[in-house]
Copies of this chain bind each other. A is one copy, B any other.
């Protein structure tokens, strides 16, 4: 069976972890956390970053830093993972769901302005599959109404909008290092803080609402309770694993891109006139090859393809379920029909894509798809 995903660890993760274990300094904010911070700040020019226990937690930090209060509204795409919005719902926000673009799952900028009200406290965008949202248009709208933007870049490590790294454009960016991502640490995330005014409070909120970070820098004689907060910092063991991945990032990314291109080239002819669409890359975005997906003609077709692939020892999977029609939100939802989000819910199909996948595997998968379609 060709699995849908196979986490790839190269060896230096364990070497780094062994080093941390030897020192015993395995709580948060150790040597490897700092190395990871420096890596991201230097490679992408991020002003300030903080490792977190997950992207979910980085989003929660953003919600706390933006001081989201009960009754506040937050605009977000419906076609996304629950964490994108749950982080804000936990603070009491009401979510105003926007539709996806017709051509890809990213939020449709056209929809944003209509959803803005006096209570809108944030716009959260998701760079689906690592492909950038139309950030110039989104930032224009956000700036016009003075609303902060959070970039959920969970899938978007090492990807760019024009020449700007994703995660660097909104007020905050959030990344995931979950096992299903390009760069992994099991569970892990990163908060990017692009507005200096949040930097100090971010440290406090991440350290259980204490000024412990100032204490360890020698700025105060004891540390105490100064704010709300949680424990958002991962063990240095996790940071050591992540740093091992960062050391091999170029290799990992190159391999994924080659596989992605192989899929694309194999499938581009096969899928003409079959009602199946391939990913639509925009001119303003790079592709970090996080995911290769097809848009099927219908839910029925997708179900048949999944089962046909399975019969041929290939695992393929659907993805998100529109959040506006989830069990949790449906009753509360008062907005319009979101037909593109529903389309991707029903028709998007993800194919295996991971470092150890071979060209032979990709060719075989494409051949099976071809034989299904013929």
Binding site for B on A (CB under 8 A): 6-9, 13-14, 17-18, 21, 24-28, 53-57, 60, 70, 81-83, 86-87, 89-90, 92, 178-180, 184-188, 208-210, 222, 224-231, 233-238, 241, 318, 321, 323, 326-329
Contact A187:B53 (CB < 8 A) given known A225-B328, A228-B90, A230-B86:
yes
Residues of B contacting A26 in the complex (Cβ-Cβ under 8 angstroms): 7, 9, 179, 184-186, 241
**Closest beta carbon of chain B to A340's beta carbon, Å:** 18
Q: How far is the CA of A326 from the CA of B238 in the complex (A)?
A: 32
Interface of A is mostly: loop
**Closest beta carbon of chain B to A126's beta carbon, Å:** 15
Residues of B contacting A6 in the complex (Cβ-Cβ under 8 angstroms): 24
**Closest beta carbon of chain B to A207's beta carbon, Å:** 9
**Closest beta carbon of chain B to A211's beta carbon, Å:** 8
Q: Give 24 CB contacts A-B under 8 Å.
A: A7-B24, A9-B26, A14-B17, A14-B18, A17-B21, A25-B179, A27-B180, A28-B187, A53-B54, A53-B231, A53-B234, A54-B231, A82-B209, A82-B229, A90-B90, A92-B92, A185-B235, A187-B235, A224-B321, A224-B328, A226-B326, A235-B241, A237-B238, A238-B238
Residues of B contacting A17 in the complex (Cβ-Cβ under 8 angstroms): 14, 17, 21, 237
**Closest beta carbon of chain B to A185's beta carbon, Å:** 7
Q: How far is the CA of A353 from the CA of B178 in the complex (A)?
A: 36
Q: How far is the CA of A4 from the CA of B66 in the complex (A)?
A: 38
Residues of B contacting A7 in the complex (Cβ-Cβ under 8 angstroms): 24-27
Contact A231:B25 (CB < 8 A) given known A208-B82, A222-B321:
no
Taking A55-B231, A225-B321 as known contacts, 7 extra A-B pairs with beta carbons closer than 8 A to each other, sorted by chain A number, are A86-B229, A185-B235, A186-B234, A186-B238, A188-B235, A237-B238, A238-B238
Residue of B nearest to A356 (CB): B24
A90 close to B230 (CB less than 8 A): yes
Residues of B contacting A241 in the complex (Cβ-Cβ under 8 angstroms): 21, 26, 235, 237
Q: How far is the CA of A12 from the CA of B311 in the complex (A)?
A: 41
B28 close to A225 (CB less than 8 A): no
**Residue in contact with A326 in the complex, picked from B56, B184, B224, CB distance below 8 Å:** B224
Residues of B contacting A326 in the complex (Cβ-Cβ under 8 angstroms): 224-226
Residues of B contacting A70 in the complex (Cβ-Cβ under 8 angstroms): 70, 92
Contact A89:B186 (CB < 8 A) given known A27-B178, A237-B241, A238-B238:
no
Contact A323:B225 (CB < 8 A) given known A6-B24, A27-B178, A54-B231:
yes
The 10 closest A-B pairs by CB, nearest first: A186-B235, A26-B186, A27-B179, A7-B24, A56-B231, A225-B326, A54-B231, A187-B235, A82-B225, A225-B328
**Closest beta carbon of chain B to A66's beta carbon, Å:** 15
Q: How far is the CA of A28 from the CA of B179 in the complex (A)?
A: 9
Contact A57:B89 (CB < 8 A) given known A27-B186, A241-B26:
no
